Amino acid sequence: MEREEFADFYADSFQRLVGQLYAMTGDQAEAQDAVQEAFVRAWARRGRMDRSGAPEAWVRVTAWRIAASRWRRARNGTRLGSLIARPESTAGPTPDRVAFSDALRKVPAEQRRALVLYHLCDMTVDQVAAETGARAGTVKARLARGRAALAPYLLETAAPVTE
């Protein structure tokens, strides 16, 4: 990938990836920082990224690993997404949305990652499995558990997981 192509790729995908990482981590600053760092690595190792054939997925996986690694080092087991104290009050979101955000923060990190990839990134179970390195059955279980945890806060809770 040449400089200009990389710059276009960065401009096109940076904000989308920050949004996805935020949904996975629950932390805006961490999401932005991890994605930024992943792009630095992407340029430094662009040969490897090019060979992956899916540069955006490569950056997302790298950003997730960066965020997860920091979380493990910093908290030694504390759930991702609780690193940053939430503002005491937020203007705008309805109580339903605040409750949903709180519930999402309590979902274990790998379940939340699966939920985001499946529901937000519109991936199939097999694609989620490929990106996360888990088996399809594990992905299905994570999706089911994550959705069950969020069920009290959602309108639709029983939509089946499709392949």
Partner 1 sequence: MPELTSELQRMADDAAGQARPLAAAEIIRQGDRRRRRSRTRRSLGGLSAAGVVGAGVALGLGLTGSAPAHATGTIRTAAFTLVRNATGTATLTINNNVIFEPATLQSDLAQDGIQAKVTAGSFCSSDPIPAGISQVISVPAVQPGEAPTVTINPAAMPPGTELSFGNFQLANGGKTFVALIDSGSYTCTSTAPVGAPGIAAFGFGRSPSR
| Cβ burial 75-112 (10 Å sphere, 16+ → b, else e) | eeeeebbebeeeeeeeeeeeeeeeebeeebbebebbbb
Name residues contacting partner 1, limited to 87-106 (CB under 8 A).
96-97, 100-101, 104
Which one of residues 20, 62, 111, 132 is an interface residue with partner 1 (CB under 8 A)? 20
Separation of alpha carbons 148 and 154, rounded Å: 10
Which one of residues 30, 80, 113, 123 is an interface residue with partner 1 (CB under 8 A)? 30
Residues within the interface to partner 1 (CB under 8 A) = 3, 6-7, 10-11, 14-16, 18-23, 27-37, 39-46, 66, 70, 74-75, 82-85, 96-97, 100-101, 104, 115-116, 119-120, 147, 150, 153-157
